[in-house]
Structures are given as structure tokens and as C-alpha cells.
A and B are shown apart, each in its own frame.
Chain A
Amino acid sequence: MLMLRSALLSTLLLMSSALYAHHDGTHHELSDGEAPAIEVTQPWIRATPPGAGAGGGFITLTNHGNADDTLIGATTSITDRVELHTMEMDGDVMRMAPLPGGIEIPAGESVTLAPGGLHLMFMELASPIVEGQPIPITLEFQYAESIEAELQVVPVGASPEGEGAHAGHHEEHHEEHGHMAH
């Protein structure tokens, strides 16, 4: 009961703070009663090899509110450079694309940043991302108040529990297995 109450309370707090959150004015104003309420689940990242310039962070964002919102950026203490990116397999070609407009999280929906697609791109890493040393991040939204989270670090090539099995395997994976000459 206490849990439920505090959950309700934080939802209310989130909703009210979202109403007052500042934004850049390019979108419509939220009208009365409209508010996004973002929940963050399973933030994680893979450890990086020494000297790796970049690492991809993953997270699930659920908008329990009744207004669309957009993840517009993230900050962390480990680097000044975090961008929102997506990648896509086009046949055998991995294509990367920055998303300067952010990642939309429609009201009532979940968006998962996961290997093979959307990711937080951490750049100019001064030192490797190491297993067992979580990465603190602050996620910034267009309307909702910023959310702090910690990315759990899993080994290179691994995925957290419940995120699918072995290295390289993910849901969006194209099932073709290259081509062999016979």
C-alpha cells in the first residue's frame, strides 16, 4: 500500500513538474491536464575495449502520461559528448544516423533503445567503460523534468538478463545468414 501510494505520488509529482518544465517553444504548448510522465527501465551499456572512442547506451522509456514527449538529450559525468543516434542494418551494411531532433515517446507508449537501433552515443571516452562501474546519466526531455538514471555495465558483447541471449543477437536482426558459394 505504501509502495502504491509513493508510486502514485511520484507520478503526480512527475505530471505536475512536467507541466512547468521549460521547452524551446517549437512545439505546441501543453494544454491543461496534458502531461507526459516518463518511466525509465533497464538502463544498460556494454563495457568498451581499451581505447574505444565510443559506446552505445540502452534504455526503455515509457510514457505513462497523456501527452507526447521527446527525449532531447542526455548528460553524464564521464564525457561531455552524448548524442542520440540510431543505426540500421541495410542488407549487410550498418548505417549510423544522428537524431538531432531527439527521440519521440508518444503518450501511452514505450520506446526501447537497444542494440541494432536507437542508442545513446557516448563519445570521446577518456577511459573505458568498465563492468561493475555504473554510468550516471541525466536524461532531458522536451516537457518532462529531467530524469537521473544509472546505466548498468555488462561485459563486452553481453546483454543484461531478460534482454535476449548471446552476443550480436537482437530482435531486429535480419535472419539471413550471409551467402555461401557452393
Chain B
Amino acid sequence: MQRRDVALLSIGSLVLLLTLAVFFAVFGRQAANPPLAEMGGQFQLVDTEGSVVTQDDLVGKPTLLFFGFTYCPDVCPTTLFNLTRLIQQLGNQADQFNYLFVSLDWERDGPEQLARYISVFDERIRGLSGNEAQINAIADAYRVQYERVPMEQGDYTISHTAATYLLDREGSVVGTLAYGFDLDETQASLEQLLPSS
């Protein structure tokens, strides 16, 4: 084996090791679900009309709360579409719930961008945005994990919690729906959150 080959081989192994290290740093972490009782709290955001929305505005109706961003290639539109189908399935019960989509992309998503984006989904889904501090506050409160993943040319995408949060009429978190939630199961869970007639 020539010296050049040995050098190439060592560089190759080093690159492989670094790649593995990065891979495990990205994928190796297991996200443990924090207890529901620790989730929730104060927040202040704006809707697509520019009106301020806080936790107090949710009280009185159970809430479905989903975090995402409009640069999201798949998980966010799929979840918003699933929510739209859920709202249709709920029929005349649908108006008894709040539906919120909070953008974690405080740099690129504002009220106008969110308004365009959510226009294809059910109009009862409200799009909320905020500045960096406001988004970090609600992410901390709901134990939402999010981090920017750099891409080429200084661009970024966002890894984030893709569960949909269920809040009761007092605004306390009572459950989360995993990505791709089943409509019938969810409808049954939601009906339990309504006042018993």
C-alpha cells in the first residue's frame, strides 16, 4: 500500500467517524415525553388579522394546538389537512373547539405569510405567530422542542415536536395526539372534553 493510499484511507476513516458523530448527535437523542402537568402557561402571540391572542382567549372551549412552520415540506401540511378532516368529521360539534397553528419560524412567518398558508385549510384553524422571545416562551411553556437545521446557502429547516396538544376548557393540557392521529379516536377524546349534556 502506498503512502498516499494510507493518507487517503485515514482521511476517509476520519470523515466517516465525523459523519457518524453528527448522525448520532442528530438522531441519537431520544425525546422523552414530559409530564402533561408541566405543560402549558402564559403566551402572547398575534393571529393573521394582527390581533393579540393569549392563553386567556382559549378558556371556555377545549383547544387543539399544533406547532409547525410554513417552510415545512410534509408534516405540517399533512397535520393541518388532518385537522381539517377532523373538523369536517366533527360536524356541528366543531365550533365548540379552538384550533391553533403556531409557527415556530419567527424569522420567516408573520401574520400575512400564515394567512396565505392556512387559507387552503379549514377557516376555523387560526394561524399564530410571534417574535423570537414570544415563540420561545410558548415553546418552553408547552415543552415543544424545536431547532434550526442549517442547509446550503445559509438556509434552514426546523426540526420540531409534531404532536398536536389537547387542552381542556380551562386551558390545561390533557393529552397529545401523535403525528398522523386517527380521526375516530380523536373525536372520541374530544367529546370527553365537552361539557356533559
Q: Which residues of A contact B (CB under 8 A)?
A: 46, 48-56, 81, 83, 85, 87-98, 101, 115-116, 119, 121-123, 156-157, 166-170, 173-174, 176-181
CA of A46 to CA of B78, assembled, Å: 9
A177 in contact with B182 given A49-B70, A92-B176, A157-B81 (CB within 8 Å): yes
A168 in contact with B113 given A50-B120, A180-B189 (CB within 8 Å): no
Q: Is B149 at the interface (CB under 8 A from chain A)?
A: yes
- Which residues of B are found within 8 Å of A89, using beta-carbon distances? 162, 179
Query: Is the CB–CB distance between B159 and A83 below 8 Å?
Result: no
Q: Is B145 at the interface (CB under 8 A from chain A)?
A: yes
Query: Is the CB–CB distance between A53 and B79 below 8 Å?
Result: no
Interface of B: prevailing SS = mixed
Q: Min CB distance, A13 to chain B, in Å?
A: 33
A-B pair count, CB < 8 Å, reads: 160
Query: Is the CB–CB distance between A167 and B157 below 8 Å?
Result: no
Chain A binder among B24-32, B90-98, B132-140: B24-32
- Which residues of A are found within 8 Å of B71, using beta-carbon distances? 52-54, 123
A-B pairs with beta carbons under 8 Å apart, 6 shown: A93-B160, A98-B149, A168-B180, A178-B177, A179-B36, A181-B175
Q: Is B117 at the interface (CB under 8 A from chain A)?
A: yes
Q: Which of B101-120 contact A (CB under 8 A)?
A: 108, 113, 116-120
Q: Min CB distance, A15 to chain B, in Å?
A: 28
